[in-house]
Amino acid sequence: MRISSMIQSTDDSITFLMPELPEVETIARGLAKRISGDVIESVWLGSKPEPLKSPASEIAATLQAKRIAAVRRVGKHIVFDLESPRGATTPSAQWIVHLGMTGSLLVCAPELALEKHTHAVLQLASGRELRFVDPRRFGRLSVIEKFEAPGAEPLQIGFEDFAALFHNRKTPIKSALLNQNLLSGVGNIYADEALFRARVRPRRRASSLTRDELRRLHQALKRVFTEAIKLGGSSVSDYVDADGEEGFFQLKHRVYGRENKPCRVCKTPIKRIVIAGRSSHYCPRCQK
DNA sequence: ACTATGTCCTGCGAGC
DNA sequence: TGCTCGCAGGACATAG
């Protein structure tokens, strides 16, 4: 069973799905369902050090012989809460996995051939393995006592705090949304989708947004994430494809990846521009 | 204290 | 058919 991003086809495009907040939430829930309570018996880490944020020896020593008490999402990070299986008074520890763009976590039988770009293999007491695979190596593995995301949770932040994030900020609103120190978990795709729903152009300076626009953006972000999690959540329990792989039912994009295609609201061709090196899509008529 | 840009990394598809 | 090249992007480093 693989929990990862995948190719998703829509009526007019095929899109590579990057793990942003809703996907990471779905992945964390799927893992929680499958491996909570399991015990890590041994740890193998690949020779390439790039995906490791903590030293390999520290990661291995921290994971070794620990029980996985819980798996959850914080921002775009997957947090594994670890505890000593005998309930001893060891200090709390957490294993933090960031999937980057192409990372995936695989729960499988040990017999399954190791696929290319496998960077970590955890042997579990249940007889299964948990594997981390990441071709592009943008993902990161680390251990820490207690992880705290630098930015606010988009699904929990109230409007006044949300509005304050953008006060006096000259950077484009799109860049501000992607800044993980402000909000934790917003990626390129959902930033475009939320801005479209809020009817705000991505290049607008963050500080120039009116209170009404900020209100719409706050709502749009919450809605787009909530809807996407709902779709992903149902996929965890209901959708398994022919290879036994689990997939995502993704929100139908309204702007992302739809350059020159008609706006789903007004038919005006969607524009694509580059902001801070990121492709950004918007409707020149609907978004001001 | 902000803001902008470059870098990492591999796979894939467009173009010739 | 086979090659090169550019693009994709999250987070961090570095420079301004």
**Which domains does chain A show, CATH number per domain?**
2-144 (3.20.190.10), 159-282 (1.10.8.50)
Beta bridge partners of A16: A7
Q: Between the CA of A243 and the C1' of B14, what is the distance in angstroms?
A: 30
List the nucleotides on chain C closer than 7 A to a protein CB. 7-12
Q: Point out the catalytic residue in the list A137, A169, A204, A278.
A: A278
- With contact defined as beta carbons under 8 Å apart, do A6 and A248 qualify? yes
- Does A52 contact strand C, using a CB cutoff of 7 Å? no
> Which parts of chain A have pLDDT scores under 70?
1-17, 48-50, 87-91, 233-250
Report the 10 Å Cβ neighbour count for A253.
22
Closest nucleotide to A99, Cα to C1': C10
Looking at residue A246, its pLDDT comes to 54
For A193-234, the pLDDT digits (tens) are 999 999 999 999 999 999 999 999 999 999 999 998 888 755
List, for residues A4-34, the tens digit of each pLDDT value: 444 333 333 333 457 889 888 988 988 998 8
Q: Look at residue A121 and give its three-state secondary structure.
A: strand
- Is strand C in 7 Å reach of the CB of A148? no
Asked if the Cβ of residue A142 lies within 7 A of any atom of strand C, the reply is no
The yes-or-no answer on residue A2 being catalytic is no
Instruction: Supply the DSSP string of A130-156, one letter for each residue.
Output: EEEE-TT---EEEEESS---SSBPTTT
Name the nucleotide nearest A180; use CA and C1'. C11
At A12 the pLDDT is 35
Residue A261 known to be catalytic: no
CA of A39 to C1' of C1 (A): 51
Footprint of strand B on the protein (CB under 7 A): A 50, 116-117, 135-138, 168-172, 175-176, 206, 276-277
Contact between A122 and A108 under an 8 Å Cβ cutoff? The reply is no
pTM of the model: 0.89
Q: How many CB atoms lie within 10 A of CB A222?
A: 16
Query: What is the CA A224 to C1' C5 distance in angstroms?
Result: 36
Rounded CA Rg of chain A: 20
Catalytic residue among A34, A66, A73, A76: A76
Is A267 labeled as catalytic in the residue annotation? Answer: no
Distance A192 CA to B4 C1' (A): 20
Structure letter (DSSP) for residue A208? G
Nearest nucleotide over every DNA/RNA strand to the A280 CA, judged by C1':
C9
The reply to whether A278 belongs to the active site is yes
Query: In terms of C-beta density within 10 A (0-12 exposed, 13-18 middle, 19 or more buried), how is residue A237 classed?
Result: exposed
Chain B positions with an atom below 7 A of a protein C-beta are: 2-11
